[in-house]
Structure 1
Amino acid sequence: MNLDNLPVEWSVSQLTKMIASEGLISDGDWIESKDQDEKGDIRLIQLADIGDGDFRDKSNRYMNQDAFDRLNCVELKANDVLIARMPDPLGRACIFPKLPYKCVTVVDVCLIRTGERSAISPKLLKYWINSTQIRNLIALNATGTTRKRITRKKLESFDFPVPPLAEQQEIVRQLDVMLAQVEQIKARLDAIPTILKKFRQSVLESYFNNLASVQQVNLDDLVVSIDQGWSPKCLNTPASAEQWGVIKTSAIQPLYFDANENKELPSNLKPREALSLISGDVLITRAGPRARCGVTCIVDKDYDNLMICDKVYRVRCDSKKISADYLNLYLNSLTGLSLIEKMKTGSSESGMNLTQSKFKELVIPLVSLKQQLAFAKDIKKFFQLANHIEETVQSAQKRVNLLTQSILAKAFSGELTTEWREQHQELITGINSAESLLAKIKAEREASKPAKKTRKKKEV
């Protein structure tokens, strides 16, 4: 953040110099596990509660009044600024909204209470800390070997652009309006992938939902082979084009094969070439959590160096009887998914199985090969349209994310309120200037310091 070209009515200061004498900057309370009491009525505000600009109200830990008194904890007040001193992301900030019970923070949350006569608005401080420039500054100054942490002293040392109070209120007003609009746009964009997912399913159902009258054939009679893979202990890095790798189950997504999701085979192990992948292989996960068991995709091209893992079935179709595209699309339709769901076995939601014997018995509605190819061709046209929309949405999401930071950058350079300053000079100059306000706070803080005790001279 460039602090050299700020408006002349602005000033630059550190946090401690902007906060009134009744304000507070604290590392949070050093509350340990032994201090917690699930039956207590004092809520512990933790990292999970600190959103990226919003208070999320997620944690569920408490302490009792005795521990509160013993540790001399600070009770949170409405408009306190809370900053996450640890990831993720590091340095996110929000405003405490005041809950209907007493609350304190833990040590991983920095508390900043500006005070009523401070030179900085709590909301403006929140926006400033959530800007990319300050997040980057926090990341650069964070320390720690396992998890990076920003210290209170480091936060206090950062220089902050200080507009006059009246202009701060105008900046906050404009940011509230603009960023609320950005969030609305984000929400609408975020909803589109779900709409497209429903669209794809409706397309599939329009082709596969009314095939009860056609010939029903067991899968085992339509394929050349159903093979199960191999899961040796691999390296945690993906294989290059010249190396052998074993795919992970995450490589198999509904209707999409992600070849990057693989692990490199160690050089001391001999690859099993018979388990490699070729274009048209239909892959289905055979084990895992319920939502991940029975997921199906088709391999888009030959991958001579990638092998299937033990938790995946590789289906190779008899091309004279069934199209691989047709089978893949059917297994991803609601009708096909429903049949697969009934075949799953397991004692818990996290450990479901699809046995090969049951999978082979899966009944497939078999139209002519010509119709199968026509179905697949038509469906792919609709999917290409959906994919194009999805790519457009992803591009728009990136631009919108950049828009938020662009608006914040304009706010803290003075560009956002250029016109407002021209029209309200009387509110930002003289005694209303930022420099005058900082001087007043400095004087108040000096006056509030306890007087130094002087030694009396001994009488001779």
Structure 2
Amino acid sequence: MKAGWQVKPLHSLALTITDGNWVETKDQSDSGIRLIQTGNIGTGFFKNRCEKSRYIDDATFERLRCTEVFPGDCLVSRLPDPVGRSCIIPDTGEKMITAVDCTIIRFDRDVLLPEFFIYFSMSQSYLTAVADACTGTTRQRISRTNLGKLPIPLPPLDEQKRIIAILDETFEGLDRARANAEANLADARELFEATLREELEKNSTDWRECSLSDIGQTVTGSTPRTSETGNTGTFIPFIKPGDFLPDGRLNYESEGLSEKGAASSRILPPGSALMVCIGATIGKAGFSDRSIATNQQINALVPSVGICGEFVYLQMLSKSFQREVIQNAGQATLPIINKSKWSALKVRMPHDLSRQEAVTAKMREARNHVSSLEKHFTTTLADLTSLRQSLLQKAFSGELG
């Protein structure tokens, strides 16, 4: 810690530190006093989210004895993710309150500037201290009491202002760099889709539209009985949704099946196109280059003679195919597309296998190029995040020049 700096508990630096109010759905109205919720608190910034705003009326404000939130107050979310994130409330032109899972902090600006705290709350040292003070098994949270005990570095006011000015300028540049990298990443991901669209439109007259059932056999995976011993091993890979890699390859190194386990499973030949058809990762697609088995969350197309399975897999990645999967999965809590609906989904196919393979080679090249670009821009984003944390660490250890 730099000479002249102090470390004090958070509660000692605030004129006010109190939780928001318990406001139930029945207490809310269509207009009036705005209810700021944990979803409005970003990591260092306020998320306005006007379209999701909730309100209470004046009578409810009085009845619940609500605490008003003012522009310039800091709000800290005591719930994930991450716990402890904070923002400064802007002047929205509205009277405001906040929910019980948010803590209102009104700093003594003669001691600690809110902007200094906001930057500190983005640092790994702060987030680690918050995590260590959290309780709860199902959902982690920090109590207001424990929040108030967190140690806060306290340099002189002039030093706080200097640090804020440096971080404001530097983070503005980093934000621009991040926005550019995110835009480039989005463009890279669109490149494959554009290549696929170009091929489909260019060959609109001599390609046929087929359902998956027209061009192969649909196979739904199965899991050998877990109550029976000896089913796991290294005889054949056993693919689950978590084994689908972002570039469409499959992770063959997870726990596989023994010869005994394989005997009670449905074996897929090399060249099969796979898709997760249930759960949060529904629509994730992959392509096998060897014999495998899968669990029951996965449907596979075993292509007929004269059909290139990789060509089918590449079409499964398209936005139009993914949209059809989601639309046929229904709106249940756990989305699922059954075997018959999946088999009825459409793809477009050249009549000739050699043409399928030629287009596949071109699309594979585009896919590999996109994967390379995605890796580059993802690394850039990770580097920017690391740089931000490095600057914050230097700032709050007194090493920021």
TM over 0.5: yes
Mapped contact 1:142–1:151 kept (Cα < 8 A): yes
**3-state secondary structure, aligned to 2:344:** helix
Distance 1:229 1:156, change over 3 A: closer
Q: 1:345/1:153 Cα in 2 relative to 1: closer, same or farther (>3 Å)?
A: closer
Number of equivalent positions: 393
Q: Which amino acid aligns with 2:370?
A: A
Q: Which residues of 2 match residues 358-373 of structure 1 at below 5 A?
A: 359=344, 364-367=349-352, 369-373=353-357
Question: Are 1:12 and 1:159, in contact at CA under 8 Å, matched by a contact in 2?
Answer: yes
Q: Secondary structure at the match of 1:149?
A: coil
Q: Which has the larger radius of gyration?
A: 1
Residue in 2 aligned with 1:158?
150
Shift of 1:402: 0.9
1:89 equivalenced with 2:82 (yes/no): yes
| Residue 70 (structure 1) shift | 3.7
Q: 1:180 aligned to 2:172?
A: yes
Task: Measure the CA separation in 1 of the matches of 2:7 and 2:341.
Answer: 69
Distance change in 2, residues 1:344/1:253 (3 Å): farther
**Backbone CA RMSD of aligned residues:** 4.0
Shift of 1:231: 7.1
- Aligned with 1:277 (options 254, 268, 272): 268
Structure 1 residue 120: deviation in Å?
0.5
Matched, 1:48 2:43: no
The counterpart of 1:63, out of the listed 41, 44, 56, is 56
- Structure 2 residue identity aligned to 1:301: R
Corresponding residue of 2:13: 18
Kept after mapping to 2: 8 A contact 1:286/1:312: yes
Take 2:147 and 2:85, find their aligned partners in 1: how far apart are those partners? 12
Which blocks of at least 5 consecutive residues in structure 2 are unaligned?
A: none
Distance 1:147 1:348 in 2: 26
Q: Give CA-to-partner distance per residue, 1:15-40, whole Å, 9 cap, x none.
A: 34434xxx2111233x2427723246
1:282 maps to amino acid: A
- For 2:342 and 2:378, locate their aligned partners in 1 and report how far apart those are by CA, in whole Å: 41
Q: Secondary structure at the match of 2:274?
A: strand
1:393 and 2:385 are equivalent in the alignment = no
CA deviations over 1:264-316 (Å, ceiling 9, x no partner): 99x9x966645233431112466789x956x653224333xx32526624323
Provide the secondary structure at the position in 2 that maps to 1:415: coil
Kindly tell me: are residues 384 and 240 of structure 1, through their superposed partners in 2, closer, same or farther at Cα, counting changes over 3 Å? farther
How far has the Cα of 1:363 moved from its partner?
Answer: 5.5
Q: Is the 8 A contact 1:85 1:151 kept in 2?
A: yes
Q: Deviations over 1:42-74 (max 9, x none)?
A: 222221111111111345333332332344332
Cα displacement (A) at 1:221: 9.5
Change beyond 3 A, Cα 1:124–1:241:
farther
Which residue matches 1:431? Answer: none
**CA distance in structure 2 between the aligned counterparts of 1:281 and 1:375, rounded to whole angstroms:** 18
Give 3-state SS (helix, strand or coil) of 1:174's partner.
helix
Pairwise CA distance, 1:332: 4.3
Deviation at 1:167, TM superposition (A): 2.1
Report the secondary structure of 1:44's partner residue: strand
- Give, in whole Å, the separation in 1 of the partners of 2:23 and 2:84: 22
SS of the residue 2:103 aligns to? strand
* Equivalent AA in structure 1 for residue 19 of structure 2: D
Q: Where in structure 2 are the equivalents of 1:443-458 lying within 5 Å?
A: none
State the secondary structure of the residue aligned to 1:277: coil
Which amino acid in the other structure matches residue 12 of structure 1? V
TM-score normalised by length of structure 1: 0.72
Aligned to 2:296: 309
The offset of 1:247, in angstroms, is 5.0
Per-residue CA deviations over 1:133-188 (Å, capped at 9, x if unaligned) read 01101111122343222223323333322222122122111111111221222222
Kindly report which structure 2 residues correspond to 1:26-41, keeping only aligned pairs within 5 A, or say none. Answer: 26-29=18-21, 31-33=22-24, 36-39=27-30, 41=32
Native 8 Å contact 2:9 2:150 kept in 1: yes
| CA offsets 1:381-424 (integer angstroms, 9 cap, x no match) | 332222112112222221111111111111112222x4xxxxxx
The equivalent of 1:449 in structure 2 is none
Amino acid at match of 1:92: R
Kindly indicate whether the alpha-carbon contact (under 8 Å) linking 2:223 and 2:294 is maintained by their aligned counterparts in 1: no
Q: Which has the higher contact order (CA 8 A, sep 6+)?
A: 1
Identity percentage of aligned residues: 25
C-alpha distance in 2, partners of 1:155/1:38? Answer: 31
Structure 2 length-normalised TM? 0.81
Q: Is the 8 A contact 1:24 1:111 kept in 2?
A: yes
Aligned-partner Cα distance in 1 for 2:362–2:29: 59
CA distance in 2, matches of 1:261, 1:73: 56
SS at match of 1:86: coil
More displaced 10-residue stretch of structure 1: 349-358 or 75-84: 349-358
- Aligned partner of 1:422 in structure 2 is none
Q: 2:68 and 2:382 mapped to 1: Cα distance? A: 39
SS of equivalent to 1:302: coil
Q: CA deviation at 1:88?
A: 1.4
Matches within 5 A, 1:157-306: 157-214=149-206, 216=208, 223=215, 225-230=217-222, 242=234, 256-259=248-251, 273=264, 275-284=266-275, 292=282, 296-303=285-292, 306=293
